[in-house]
Amino acid sequence: MTTGVDEIRDRAQAAAPAVSTSKANKVIYVTGYGRSGSTLLDILLGHGAGIVSVGELDWLHRDWSESVCSCGSTYEECPFWSPVGARIRDSVGALGPDELDRNLRRVESILSLPALLTRTLPPRWTKAFRAQVRAQLDAIAEVGSGDAVLDSSKSAREAAGRALALERLVGITVKRIHLVRDGRAVLWSARRGPNYRSGKSTSNEWPRFSFWRLRTIAGWVLANAIAALDAKMAPEGHALRVHYEDLVKHPHRELERIGSFIGRDLTPVRHRIERGESFPVGHKTGGNRLLDGGPVRLRADQEWEKRLSRGDHLLFWALAGAAAFGLGYRWRPR
């Protein structure tokens, strides 16, 4: 039997806004390799209802004193990150950036993945991780006035277990978007210059490190393998694969698919693309060269199809063909 009080409470709950502005209820996590368009996806989804997109969140502590926010301010002066930092300090104490970073890395690194999967990480590590990340996500949700935090930390070796750790140790819902891009386009992007995280690279010079092709191809295979493993470990319905090529060629269809997956209406984002409008970058950490160019527009980048050498095509297909095939790529561009 329901009482009048119950009815009033039920009505109040039904009328309450779906978005809480004090707690993070969900993380939307972009997995995969860098240079795959995650910054673009991050910026697009950041304009969805209740979504606060922050770039590569796992880089925040390392960047804090060494780099600047994508708005151009230092983190201490940025109108978004400054209050976020203050709330984190209120919650976990004034830990230095090195300690904050170590608390993440020792849990998220690929070396810790077996212990994370078998739930045998030292309790001291998991406790520190949980307190720190929970404080960070709630601070971002509160300052950004949303309940879903979009984190594009992806799946490099040092963040290999991050999505799983957020889910298992912090106890928050994690919706993974495995963003994958043709490895040959990634190879072409690497050829054009180092993808400096601070966004300072404008160099068109050939990257100077040796074996850059092997590094890029190996990195692409590994990060996508980690993302695929993570998707297998995720609860049913918590992982979605998106091809970058589909996103830029059919943004309406893909954004509808993504919106349905994350439970958010992305119609305003689709309308904005229809009108040909640009998207302000906002306050992102750990971005790449996109962040230097101001507002972002959606455009297909097919330069590699004509300009990547036949040798690089062959090298990629010889080394990573099986992985590429498994991810839905063929010799002809998608």
| Binding positions for Zn ion, rule: CB under 5 A | 69, 71, 78, 283
Please check whether residue 164 is in contact with residue 124, taking contact to mean a CB–CB distance below 8 angstroms: no
- Residue closer to Zn ion, measured from CB, 50 or 287: 287
Please check whether residue 180 is in contact with residue 241, taking contact to mean a CB–CB distance below 8 angstroms: yes
- Residue closer to Zn ion, measured from CB, 83 or 193: 83
Q: How many angstroms separate the CA atoms of 149 and 284, rounded?
A: 12
Q: How many angstroms separate the CA atoms of 26 and 275, rounded?
A: 30
Task: Provide the minimum distance between the beta carbon of 69 and Zn ion in the complex, in angstroms, as a whole number.
Answer: 3
- Residue closer to Zn ion, measured from CB, 73 or 195: 73
Task: Provide the minimum distance between the beta carbon of 114 and Zn ion in the complex, in angstroms, as a whole number.
Answer: 37
* Among 89, 82, 43, residue whose Cα is nearest residue 64: 82
Task: Provide the minimum distance between the beta carbon of 284 and Zn ion in the complex, in angstroms, as a whole number.
Answer: 8
- Residue closer to Zn ion, measured from CB, 77 or 303: 77
Task: Provide the minimum distance between the beta carbon of 89 and Zn ion in the complex, in angstroms, as a whole number.
Answer: 18
- Residue closer to Zn ion, measured from CB, 197 or 270: 197
Task: Provide the minimum distance between the beta carbon of 141 and Zn ion in the complex, in angstroms, as a whole number.
Answer: 17
Q: Which residues contact 300 (CB under 8 A, 6 or more apart)?
A: 245, 248, 249
Q: How many angstroms separate the CA atoms of 207 and 120, rounded?
A: 40
- Residue closer to Zn ion, measured from CB, 69 or 128: 69
Please check whether residue 172 is in contact with residue 27, taking contact to mean a CB–CB distance below 8 angstroms: yes
- Residue closer to Zn ion, measured from CB, 84 or 160: 84
Task: Provide the minimum distance between the beta carbon of 73 and Zn ion in the complex, in angstroms, as a whole number.
Answer: 5
Give backbone dihedrals phi and psi of 36, rounded to 5 degrees, phi first: -105, 10
Helix (H, G, I), strand (E, B) or coil at 141: helix
Task: Produce one character per residue of 121-158: b if its CB has 16 or more CB atoms within 10 Å, e if not.
Answer: beeebbebbbebbbbbbbbbbbbbebbbbbbbbbbbeb
Q: How many angstroms separate the CA atoms of 54 and 51, rounded?
A: 10
Task: Provide the minimum distance between the beta carbon of 46 and Zn ion in the complex, in angstroms, as a whole number.
Answer: 13
Give backbone dihedrals phi and psi of 94, rounded to 5 degrees, phi first: -85, 70
